[in-house]
A and B are shown apart, each in its own frame.
Chain A
Amino acid sequence: MFANISKSVISHAKFGSISRLESTLVIAEHNNDSVSTITQVALTAAKKIGGEITVLIAGPKCGPAAEALTKANGISKVLIAESDAFNGLTPESLTPLILATQKQFNFSHILAGASAFGKALLPRVAAKLDVSPVSDVIGINSSDTFVRTIYAGNAIQTIKAKDNVKVVSIRGTSFEPAPLDGGNATKENAPAGDYKSKQIEFIKQELSKSDRPELTSAKVVVSGGRGLKSGENFKLLYTLADKFNAAVGASRAAVDAGYVPNDLQVGQTGKIVAPELYIAVGISGAIQHLAGMKDSKTIVAINKDPEAPIFQVADYGLVADLFKAVPELTEKL
């Protein structure tokens, strides 16, 4: 009888403290200077899981970004790995560092934002841990149950991950970015090791320069499609975007036609955005494009084809020639 009682007490205690057993490692993305917004989003997701949060920041130079992270509310520790080995933040150099960190601290969750960085890195880490990663999560129901979209956002899948370590990438538009203030995390050096990879050499990055807000975090996005007819005509959208301090995006058709660089592509295989206002100009609204923008609060479509599928998701549609409507709209704002 006594044994029975203690058994039930133990199981009860176990259940009650389940969230305290969770501990999450967030892999920070940064540009040697500042933390990317998607890392702040991942921090919010980490808080939803519960338990202690540690952030790992690696790179040739981590100073200011690491400093900013220590001020984020709710983080207990920032692990810093500053070395030229992490030049270009290649998965080949970061994975052994993350594995060493995991070995030392035994986290229940490893998180990063579902950006090009997170998408390239986390599955390699998961493979090494022999666990199945969970990609581009839009909701966290519990420490092992995640919500994500499949089929270009046309179905929402809820899954329970059965592996002991959950390796999860977080969709940048599905959680609010955690503010980098109100906290006081300790700084520590990450486990030391020779992390330089002989397999890969980072050569260079060619980033599109722009004074505009970042596409994935902009409050307003003005996007153009094939209807713009040329790269030159995209100027119309830039002028309109200036009125809103908006980011400019594009459909795949506009990117493939060479009107704008590929990093402006919004859609299933480009960027996912969810701004307050999305203005789609000369975009028909293929399934693959809608996947990237249909969570926008307000959608405006300007298209001369009244049958264009974009009108089925638009809050406000204007059936008009964009070459007349866009300059007129710009002028009236």
Chain B
Amino acid sequence: MARVLVGVKRVIDYAVKIRVKPDKSGVVTDGIKHSMNPFDEIAIEEAVRMKEKKLASEIIAVTCGPTQAQETLRTALAMGADRGIHVEISGPEYDTLQPIHVSKILAKLAQNEKADIVIVGKQAIDDDCNQTAQMTAGILDWPAGTFCSKIEHGQGELTVTREVDGGLEVVKIKTPAVLSADLRLNEPRYATLPNIMKAKKKPVQKITTKELDIDTTSRIEVISVEDPPVRQAGSILPDVDSLVVKLKEGGHI
């Protein structure tokens, strides 16, 4: 049975309309509702289903971030992860933390914990990078099943259906492997109150990047973060005929 490591990230809730800081250094995060990155919920759900089908022996949820990231870890535990690892990173170090750093952390932990499968979401909805799974696989020299919409388990291998541009693609990969969850992989469960209570008792280990011997030197300098250009207000048309007129004026027909 496989040991599964799942990476989860605390991000600004997907429904929040974000605001750019006046000094253009980033977006406002203080006092803003945060939750688990939606793709990571799918990743956790998939791991829990593996355990329910007796394909996984243990699920370890990992998060990298400030103290508040522990809430995200607790959510993962309430959904069914067995234990958590909180890699504490805060302040300026967290501000410039990138997928390359997280991948190195996940790769190191995957080795330390003797994981067979690492699952993360296909992208975080804050930085929209879509890099961590691919980089973790690269560092470990493991194959990657990216943008998974279906994962079937075989002997020492996984058959993965991937969402690609023109449709779907099926690949067979050897384990150990890294997977990234796409939207249609599954429907994540809600954490029930009893499970939230139980999750409080599950072990969470705190560790630093220094203890893991991971260099988090920044690889980028954020020059500015700005609002996107605002679209000019449009008009509401009274009927289909006026729409046809406008489309003609615009040269579309």
CB within 8 Å of B: which residues of A? Answer: 88, 90-92, 95, 115-117, 119-128, 130-136, 145, 148-163, 197-208, 216, 220, 243-244, 252, 255-256, 261-263, 268-269, 271, 276-277, 287-288, 294, 298-300, 306, 311, 313-320, 325, 328-329, 332-333
Contact = CB atoms under 8 A, between A and B. Distances in A.
Contact of A90 (B142, B171, B247): B171
A256 B163 CA distance: 14
Given A124-B135, A262-B184, A269-B123, A220 B252 contact: yes
B223 A159 contact: yes
18 contacts: A88-B171, A116-B163, A125-B138, A127-B139, A128-B138, A134-B220, A150-B27, A157-B222, A161-B219, A163-B219, A199-B174, A201-B171, A202-B169, A263-B164, A277-B250, A287-B15, A329-B240, A332-B244
A123 B134 contact: yes
A319 B128 contact: no
B17 interface: yes
Q: Determine which residue in B14, B98, B164 has the highest number of CB atoms from chain A within 10 A of its CB, and name it.
A: B164
Nearest to B134: A123
Interface residues of B, number: 79
A154 B225 CA distance: 10
B170 A263 contact: no
Given A268-B128, A329-B240, A117 B138 contact: no
Contacts of A206: 167-170
Interface string B71-93: 00000000000000000000000
- Residues of B contacting A: mostly: mixed
A38 to B, nearest CB: 9
Interface of B: 12, 14-15, 17-18, 20, 27, 39, 98-100, 103, 122-123, 125-132, 134-139, 142-144, 146-147, 149, 159, 162-174, 177, 182-184, 218-228, 231-232, 234-237, 239-241, 243-244, 246-247, 250, 252-253
Contact of A244 (B164, B169, B227, B252): B252
Contact of A205 (B167, B225, B226): B167
B178 to A, nearest CB: 10
A318 B236 contact: yes
Contacts of B228: 149, 153-156, 294
A154 B18 contact: yes
Nearest to B20: A155
Contacts of A299: 231, 234
Contacts of B246: 316
A155 B183 contact: no
A123 B143 contact: no
Nearest to A311: B236
Contacts of A263: 163-168
A154 B144 contact: no
Nearest to A38: B165
A328 B103 CA distance: 53
B219 A124 contact: no
Contacts of B142: 199
Contact of A92 (B27, B144, B147, B239): B144
A135 B135 contact: no
Contact of A316 (B174, B218, B237): B237
Contact of A328 (B149, B223, B240): B240
B143 A269 contact: no
Contacts of A294: 228, 231
Contacts of B159: 203
A162 B98 CA distance: 13
B220 A203 contact: no
Q: Which one of B15, B137, B184 has the greatest number of beta carbons of chain A within 10 Å?
A: B137
A203 B134 contact: no
A244 B252 CA distance: 8
B234 A156 contact: no
Given A135-B128, A158-B224, A262-B184, A120 B167 contact: no
Given A115-B165, A203-B172, A205-B167, A315 B100 contact: no
A53 B245 CA distance: 46
